[in-house]
Each structure stands twice: as C-alpha cells, then as structure tokens.
Amino acid sequence: MYKLGIDLGGTNIAIGIVNENYKVISKISIPTLLPDTPINIVGRIADACNKCLEKANLLIGDISAVGVGTPGAVDSNNGIIYFANNLDFHNLPLADMLSKELGLTVYCENDANAAAYGEYLVSDNKEADTLVAITIGTGIGGGVIIDGKLYSGNKFSGGELGHMVINFDGIPCSCGRRGCFEAYASASALVRQTKEAMQNNPQSKLWQVCNGNIDNVTGKTAFDGLRLGDETAKSVVEQYTDYVSIGLVDIINTFGPATICISGGVSNEGEYLMEPLRRHIEANRPINCQTTVCIATLNNDAGIIGAANLDLLK
C-alpha cells in the first residue's frame, strides 16, 4: 500500500505518493493561487491528488493514508486549522473537507512538524528518539520530536523556535518582540546583514556578486563573496553563523536532542555554513552534549514524507 502526503504552502502545494520505504515515487506541484476560498483550495488539492495517482498508475484504493502539512496552528487530533495567516484559514475543518473529496481518512499537522517527522523517519540514528528540525527561510520554523512523538505544546502552539529571544532588547521581530532568533538568523536577516555590510564597505566584492545593485542581494550573496575571498563577506558569514549557533545551543540546552537537522535555502551552502557553525557550537555547548548537527537529508520531500505518515502517530 502507498500513502499520500500533501505539503500545503502559501505559494505552491506539493503532493507526493510515498511507499513503505519512505520514498516519494510520484510527485506534482500546483500553485496555491491565493487569495482564494478554502473550498476552492481543497478542491484543487483533491484534483491534484488524483492526477498524482494517475501519474503513478495507481488508484485511490491503493492509498492507505493521507496527510497534510499546513502552516499555522493545527489541532492534529481533529484535523482543524485554528489559524493560518497566509492562507486565511480560521477554524477550518481541513481534514473533514478533504476526506469528503477523497473518500479516505485525512490527518493534518503543522508543516514544520510534518517536515521534522519526515526527517525523523529516515534518520540514520535509529536509536535516537529526540530530533529537532530547523527550517531557515523567510523566517525560522521548527519541529520537535520527543520520544518518537511530535511535540505540539499546549493548544498546539509549541515549537515556535524562531521566536526564542537570543538578544535581549535586540532588533524588532515581526512577532512584536525584540531580539528573536528569527530576527537574527533567518535568511531575511542574512539579507539585511549583507546589505548593511555592503553599504559600510563600498569596495567589497559583494557589490560585484550582485552586479552593483544592492536589491539583488539574496541569502546566497554573502557565501558567494566568501568563496571569492572577500573579507567583508567572511565577516558577514562569521557573524551570521554565530547568531545561528546561539539559537542552536539554546535548543540543545532545552531539549538535549540526539540530532538537529537544518533545512532551507541556506543549508545548500554545505560546509561553508556547517564548518563555522560546528565551531561556534563546540565553543558554547554543554560539556556532555552529544547532539549531532547536520543538514537535513530530505530537502523539499520532508514535508510530503512526514505528512504521508501522520497516521503512524495515531
């Protein structure tokens, strides 16, 4: 039997069929087309699921479970999305709506949690039962696995790791607080830090990297400058990885996980990210810490694989 995993995002919706070995054997992606009504979004998801099945030469009867990873606060017990700002979902019974379309039981979970569960399922460390997954993008998302189960917190509001404060009375965060991990260590923060460094160093090769236009700066720009041997870029990357490491050490102190895996566009920098990150963590982590910090292995498939297997948590 196979399972359907749905990764519902504000820009795109990815649907995949997952086999018993946690491999995606068929996948399609469709635009979310916001703004739109929940009924229309659910209808498009159902249509895309059927197209994905057709692509794999499978029938709906070959599917044993369906799961959805969605942004927002999710009541995973009842499949209700309490609130998802970008999707404009409010107390939406998503599981029931999609179940009526597909004729199968549907499970729902926060998208970061679903991705964390996907990484946990394929982890090489089979004896580990505690894992934290961090997604570094526009913001910072987090998913926590404890004793092999997703940790959701009271009222399904736990795991908001991007809003730990790492710099008391620091710069403002979009959540309304100051000094949050997200405000210093997200890809958006790296873009801001890179632009500030360029403005202070007009001779930096970073200007060459973005063709003389500061509006072309991305989360990759500082790392590209580092590869060119630019000292300003090196300083930006060192400072940025220091910020990331502060948050990761806080997570290590809080959960003592066997593994922290990092995903998102910045993780594509490989050892240019991980080498200074490990160095910073080594200098600041607890003496008895045995946490492995690594790049996530599933990339964009993590949310699909985790969502598809949400039934295992019930």
pLDDT tens track for 30-56: 999 989 999 999 999 999 999 999 999
- The C-alpha atoms of residue 65 and residue 62 are separated, in whole angstroms, by 9
As a whole number of angstroms, the longest Cα–Cα distance in the chain is 63
For residue 224, what pLDDT is reported? 97
| Confidence at 155, pLDDT banded by 50, 70, 90 | confident
Rounded to two decimals, the pTM is: 0.84
| Confidence at 265, pLDDT banded by 50, 70, 90 | confident
- The C-alpha atoms of residue 249 and residue 281 are separated, in whole angstroms, by 6
Query: Average pLDDT in the 78-92 region?
Result: 89
259 has pLDDT over 70: yes
For residue 71, what pLDDT is reported? 86
Query: Average pLDDT in the 110-116 region?
Result: 91
Structural domains of the chain, ranges and CATH numbers in brackets: 2-120+301-313 (3.30.420.40), 126-296 (3.30.420.40)
Residue type present at position 115: A
| Confidence at 285, pLDDT banded by 50, 70, 90 | confident
Cis amide bond preceding 35, omega within 30:
yes
Query: Average pLDDT in the 178-187 region?
Result: 94
- 314 or 79, which is more confident: 79
Lowest mean pLDDT among 34-43, 195-204, 296-305: 296-305
The count of other CB atoms within 10 Å of the CB of residue 263 is 25
For residue 157, what pLDDT is reported? 72
- The C-alpha atoms of residue 142 and residue 208 are separated, in whole angstroms, by 34
Instruction: For 205-215, write each residue's pLDDT tens digit.
Output: 999 999 999 99
Angle formed at CA 28 by CA 120 and CA 122, multiple of 5 degrees = 15
